[in-house]
A and B are shown apart, each in its own frame.
Chain A
Amino acid sequence: MKVDRRSFLGLGLGAVAGAAVSPAGMKLTDDSSIMTQNWFGLLPVPIDGEITFDNSVCSLCKGSCGITVKKVAGRAIKIEGQDDHPINKGGICLHGIAGLQYLYDPSRIKSPLQKIGDRFEKISWDDAVSHIAEKLTAIKDQQKPESIACISGNDEGSVSELFKRFLKVFGSNNFYSMASMDTTWETTASKMHGKSNTLSFDIENSSFILSFGSGFIEGWGSPVHCFKTNAARKKKNVNLYQIEPRLSNTAAGADKWIPIKPGTEADLALGLCNIIINEEIYDITSISKSNSSFQAFSKMVAKDYTPEKVAETTGIDLALIKQIAHKFAWADKPIAIAGKGRGDTAGDTKEFAAVHALNCLAGNINKKGGTWVSRKNNYLKFPLAKMDSIAKNGFSKPRYTSFETLIDKVAQSSDSDIQALFVLNSNPCYTMRDSDKVIKAFENIPFKVSFSSFMDETAKKADIILPTHMFLERYEDIPSPSAGITKKTVGLSRPLVKPIFDTNNAGDAILMIAKALKGNVAENFPWSNYKKCLESVTKDIWSSLSDKGFVVLTDKPSYLKPSTDFFHVTNNLKSVEAQGDKKSFPLTLISIDNVRIAGGEIASSPFAIKTVSDKVIKGTDILVELNPETAAKARLAHGDKAKITTPVGSALVKVNVFEGIMPGLIGMAQGLGRTLDNKYVADKGVNINKLIAPVIEPGSGQDAAWGIAASISKV
């Protein structure tokens, strides 16, 4: 067929017309519609499946909240608060909800590691354990079993007990736990009420709360329990007075915020005692005038803590001081609490004693809504440890008063008394003050074993890392913290998902090491695995623990009314002061516990970091709070870059001008400046612990620093 121009045009037009009416267009439209709506490969498509809910306990902090984990086809997809749990009653904090970001974090330590030179290399569990056993055997062979030590995040619970037992039967008394306000409360309770080990606060039932800087709704005590208590308090019209130099969230939520010069809290408490004693508005049923310690105490406060004097020291208006004293004394069930911020560190002994003196004057000891003094409830029943002669000898050697003093000593010389260190549930190279010194001390310890899930600041310094399961992968008994909560419970952490990586329970790890050591040590660990051990040592409560997931050990105050000894307070205690020369460091750096930033051994999750204000983190910079007056003096404006210098270090920061902080102070968030491999969390801001020097109290040996003298200048 000859195609001339005419037929060509005709054909062309026909084709156009045909295409226009054919269904091809519609079909293509439809297809491209679907195509643009499903970008295969670019977006993850979550697999659906059977939905299940399992209960467990969160152990990201000491709060021990009950959690319910929603799973789909075996994957954990959401963590929620467990509704019927006695501690958190369905509530949950942001760190707990973000728990799965820890569990599935690809930057977790995936297998045991051994440090060779400057690098970590993968090894098997067997090799790691036998390597550790070899080292320990050598130490024991030198007859120096006391030169091994262990630092743990807590000293309760079966895993800590297993480590303690290991050290004991090996021959070392050097088991330490990281100090917190609980430690100071325990000291206070023992000193003022005789042999008793815990002190807890029934804030839930109090009718007036006087808080000396406690971040009551910022992670203090058992955080979610406190949140719940706070909400209930508002409903019941129970007042909260918050005494602290900065408008924290707690201060903002309180009925009254009383700014105070930092470090003078003890003075205020004693000044209040003065008024209460002077006006005889203390509880006469529990305080006997004839008590000699009370007489001494009365004399001391009358002499040294007159309201006028206290008003001057603390910077609080005299009338207000009187008002607080009356409000406290006249309240039906008042309670005074201390422990700055989250209470993650040990407190000032004098301050705690003075605050507790208020509780004693109010006569609220072992009453509903008051302060409960009681023995530690030990629910664990371990068989008696059998020690050989080397162990007995080693165990009887003197121990350091605290881990801080140990570090202090070790940092001074490379020829240290400590040959090996186990690090469990803690991150001292990050959380301890003057962390550069801590890191130096770690370098002086020849052999360190870390039981960590993450390559944190301390794990990085270890020679061997035995990676542990995350809390959703393991069994463990989780006792509730002592100070914040009166309802003493123990919860059961359960393995809800299969271990993601080649990790183990820390309990199993220590059992493996014990077995590898053979002999006497191995004999003391007869259990085939940690779960068996847990079952046997909790046998009294195991059935209800495994059934319900928690057991309430105490929920009533002891009937016992312990006597009160005020000599502890009159005993010439000194308040902890900010270190540093005021001339070169005219300002004071204080740490801010921000509920959205995890401050302890575990770093924040990506989600938690995401919630942090741009007035705290901006890019990789940390912003510090300055009162406009302080900022103006230093010629700094909001957003300016500045350098903070303290006697122990310096850091580059940015400025956040905030009206709610007392002039003369620099407020810096705790918990930043992490150096993990997790890019979502690490390298943001600075670790405030690098800037603060520890102040070790002579009596307790614990670091009770709350700040440090500092200066700030524009960069």
Chain B
Amino acid sequence: MKQEQKHGKTYKFGMAIDLDKCTGCGSCMVACMSENNVPFKVDESNKKDSISWMKVFKLTNGKSFPDTEICYLPRPCMHCSGKDSHNPSPCVSVCPATATDTDPTTGIVSQIYTRCFGCRYCMAACPYHARYFNWWDPKWPEGMEKYLSPDVSPRMRGVVEKCSFCFHRYQEAKDKAYVEDRDEINEEEYQTSCTQACPAGAITFGDLNNPSHAIHQLVKPDPHHYGKPRNPKAFRLLERLETNPKVYYISEKEWVRKSGDNYLEGEWEKVKNHHG
């Protein structure tokens, strides 16, 4: 197994979401739920126990009528690269049972449901609330389990789950490439379910290591600074924590970019043009 990995190509998959294009329609959320066998319960209005790998936050600029502005911010798992080699993504570094790990060939932060014993330390570690716990047994109404996909195993009660960048789609693409005797998978062969579904085309997904990929051209990741975007309109959530996410956001609006992180009074003015 390890040998195979050595021969394979190393990717660094990432996502860029254009917040000016996002309309908050929710297609990404449902595309994700139906792709990944996410369960649902009678009352999902307590958002603190409602599993939604892709969650759309609603941001406001805080101004009163009629100067109010809103912006929707879809939040998948950030698939953080982490601070340094001793501190991989906040969640990976804390998981006691190696149930979550960074896949070295794709940069994707995995979650092994059958390994997780439900200590929830990773959830405490994740500032994005991208991790969800199965507080209940997943139950589908009788007959509705027919639509469950065999590509993604349903999760049992008592384990943590989260967005996997539709890792099974990567495996599918890799298998296809293997059959066709190709070393590399093509950009369009591996796209996440949310990217594919977004009717506004706000999501771009691809290999951050590959300059020919749209995402690379869009965010211009800086390899010397853990992929920090060089596009001034692009930003990452909580850049200052050095979690170094592989999910980028793009917006022309300054207040939106500012919402991406925390700044002391007056700090933003200094950093806004080449933020933080």
Task: State the A residues within 8 Å of B (CB).
Answer: 37-39, 42-49, 72, 75-81, 88, 90-94, 97-98, 100-101, 103-107, 217-218, 223-224, 227-228, 230-231, 234, 247, 249-250, 252-253, 257, 259, 500, 595-596, 605-615, 617-620, 627-629, 659-663, 679-680, 684
Contacts and interface: CB of A to CB of B under 8 A. Distances in A.
Nearest to B137: A42
Nearest to A681: B42
B47 A611 contact: no
Interface in B215-251: none
A257 B72 CA distance: 16
Contact of B197 (A91, A247, A619): A91
Contacts of B149: 46, 72, 77-78
A107 B58 CA distance: 33
Contacts of A611: 26, 29-30, 52, 56
Nearest to A89: B199
A185 to B, nearest CB: 23
B119 interface: no
Interface string B129-156: 0000000011011111111111001111
B45 interface: yes
Listed from nearest, the 9 A-B pairs whose CB atoms lie closest are A91-B199, A227-B199, A37-B114, A94-B30, A46-B148, A100-B147, A48-B150, A46-B150, A611-B26
B217 to A, nearest CB: 15
9 contacts: A81-B199, A94-B26, A105-B143, A106-B143, A224-B199, A610-B40, A611-B29, A611-B52, A679-B42
B64 interface: yes
Contacts of A228: 199-201
A230 B23 contact: yes
B254 to A, nearest CB: 16
Nearest to B115: A37
Given A217-B25, A259-B65, A611-B56, A38 B146 contact: no
A619 B45 contact: yes
A43 B138 contact: yes
A620 B42 CA distance: 10
A629 B20 CA distance: 29
A249 B60 CA distance: 12
Contact of A659 (B35, B60, B157): B60
Given A105-B144, A234-B20, A660 B31 contact: no
A680 B39 CA distance: 12
A189 B42 CA distance: 46
B70 A247 contact: yes
Given A37-B114, A92-B199, A42 B30 contact: no
Contacts of A620: 43
Contacts of B153: 43, 45
Interface of B: 20-21, 23-27, 29-31, 33-35, 37, 40-47, 50, 52, 56, 58, 60, 63-66, 68-72, 114-115, 137-138, 140-150, 153-157, 196-202
A607 B24 contact: no
A611 B157 CA distance: 21
Contacts of B60: 659-660
A352 to B, nearest CB: 25
A250 B25 CA distance: 10
Contact of B27 (A37, A94, A250, A629): A94
A94 B65 CA distance: 30
A584 to B, nearest CB: 25
Contacts of B42: 679-680
Nearest to A98: B30
B24 A595 contact: yes
B45 to A, nearest CB: 5
B242 to A, nearest CB: 31
A215 to B, nearest CB: 10
Contact of A78 (B34, B44, B138, B157): B34
Nearest to B25: A595
B45 A97 contact: no
B114 A259 contact: no
B30 A660 contact: no
A43 B147 CA distance: 14
Contacts of B25: 93-94, 217-218, 227, 249, 595-596
Given A37-B114, A78-B34, A93-B199, A43 B45 contact: no
Given A88-B199, A619-B43, A75 B146 contact: yes
Contacts of B148: 44, 46, 77
Contacts of A662: 65-66
B156 A42 contact: yes
A106 B60 CA distance: 40
Given A104-B143, A217-B23, A660-B65, A231 B44 contact: no
**Considering residues B33, B47, B52, which has the most beta carbons from chain A within 10 angstroms of its beta carbon?**
B33
B111 to A, nearest CB: 14
A609 B156 CA distance: 23
A106 B26 contact: no
Nearest to A259: B66
Contacts of A49: 150
Given A72-B150, A628-B64, A610 B199 contact: no
Given A97-B197, A613-B58, A607 B65 contact: no
Given A90-B196, A101-B147, 17 more contacts: A42-B157, A44-B140, A44-B145, A46-B148, A47-B150, A72-B149, A78-B35, A94-B30, A107-B141, A218-B23, A234-B20, A252-B69, A252-B72, A595-B23, A613-B47, A629-B65, A660-B60
A101 B144 contact: yes
